């Protein structure tokens, strides 16, 4: 049996298991290629969905039979709409049964179909689309009426993760509190920089930043 078929079978088998919802991932992250990982997860140059979720206390689940201790978890897969359509179907069609509440889907190139197709197949689960490149944006946001997808700007998987957590926060007060704390910290960071710039003056501030 091929690795592809094993992966498809694993997803479908997992959908048949009766697991405690607290042991299943709330968020799924899928991308069209591992070359999208720096955008979808984050890199030294910019933060991504992985960074946002872990900052908010999520942990990545890699073994369904041995989930992390964290209450909220996410999973990550490479799923190509064009090269592995059967895997895309299996992932999206089983998402809700496997316990997912929201999916973050990213793809690059001019034919960035993974977010759109995932949104169609996983419906009514909400899907947040991430255009990995600027040229991917029209493809990701170009869904017809009646086939919804939430989308962020090109490369902004960090925002996609925040949106996913906002969706979950409507049912989980703990996540709402984490989002509020995160936002408060952002405001304090801006205020701190503003005071430093004002008190040191532009030349002094620039010298400190170098």
Q: Is residue 20 a contact partner of residue 14, using CB atoms and an 8 Å limit? A: no
Query: Mind listing the pLDDT tens digit of every residue in the chain (210 residues)?
Result: 899 999 999 999 999 999 999 999 999 999 999 999 999 999 999 999 999 999 999 999 999 999 999 999 999 999 999 999 999 999 999 999 999 999 999 999 988 999 999 999 999 999 999 999 999 999 999 899 999 999 999 999 999 999 999 999 999 999 999 999 999 999 999 999 999 999 999 999 999 887
Neighbours of 89 (CB within 10 A): 17
Q: Is 83 marked within a binding site? A: yes
- Cα distances from 158 to residues 4, 54, 74, 178, in angstroms, run 29, 11, 14, 15
172 touches 181 (CB < 8 A): no
Alpha carbon distances (Å) from 209 to 32, 44, 163, 183, 206: 38, 18, 31, 24, 5
SS3 8: helix
Give Cα 24 to chain centroid, integer Å.
16
| Separation CA 39–CA 129 (nearest Å) | 13
Q: Identify the CA nearest to 159 among candidates 120, 126, 191, 129.
A: 129
pLDDT of residue 31: 97
127 φ, ψ (degrees, to nearest 5): -125, 130
Distance (Å, whole) CA 56 – CA 37: 20
Place of tokens 């979808």: 40
CB-based contacts of 104, cutoff 8 Å, min separation 6: 27, 28, 29, 30, 40, 49, 127, 128, 130, 157, 160, 161, 164
pLDDT of residue 82: 94
Q: Which helix (H) or strand (E) holds 208?
A: helix 173-209
For 81, 158, 188, 200, 210, the CA distances from 197, given in Å and listed in that order, are: 48, 27, 14, 5, 14
């Amino acid at each position: 049996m091929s690795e592809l078929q094993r992966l498809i079978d694993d997803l479908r088998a997992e959908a048949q298991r009766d697991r405690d919802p607290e042991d299943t991932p709330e968020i799924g992250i899928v991308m069209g290629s591992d070359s999208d990982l720096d955008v979808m997860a984050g890199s030294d140059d910019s933060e991504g969905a992985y960074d946002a979720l872990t900052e908010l206390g999520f942990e990545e689940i890699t073994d369904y039979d041995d989930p992390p201790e964290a209450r909220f978890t996410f999973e990550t897969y490479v799923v190509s709409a064009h090269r592995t359509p059967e895997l895309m179907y299996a992932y999206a069609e089983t998402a809700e049964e496997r316990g997912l509440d929201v999916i973050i889907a990213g793809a690059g190139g001019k034919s960035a179909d993974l977010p759109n197709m995932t949104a169609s197949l996983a419906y009514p689960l909400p899907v947040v689309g991430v255009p990995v490149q600027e040229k991917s944006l029209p493809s990701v946001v170009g869904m017809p009426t009646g086939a919804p997808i939430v989308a962020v700007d090109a490369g902004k998987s960090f925002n996609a993760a925040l949106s996913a957590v906002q969706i979950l926060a409507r049912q989980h007060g703990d996540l709402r509190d984490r989002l509020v704390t995160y936002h408060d910290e952002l405001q304090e960071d801006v205020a701190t920089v503003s005071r430093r710039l004002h008190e040191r003056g532009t030349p002094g501030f620039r010298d400190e930043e170098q």
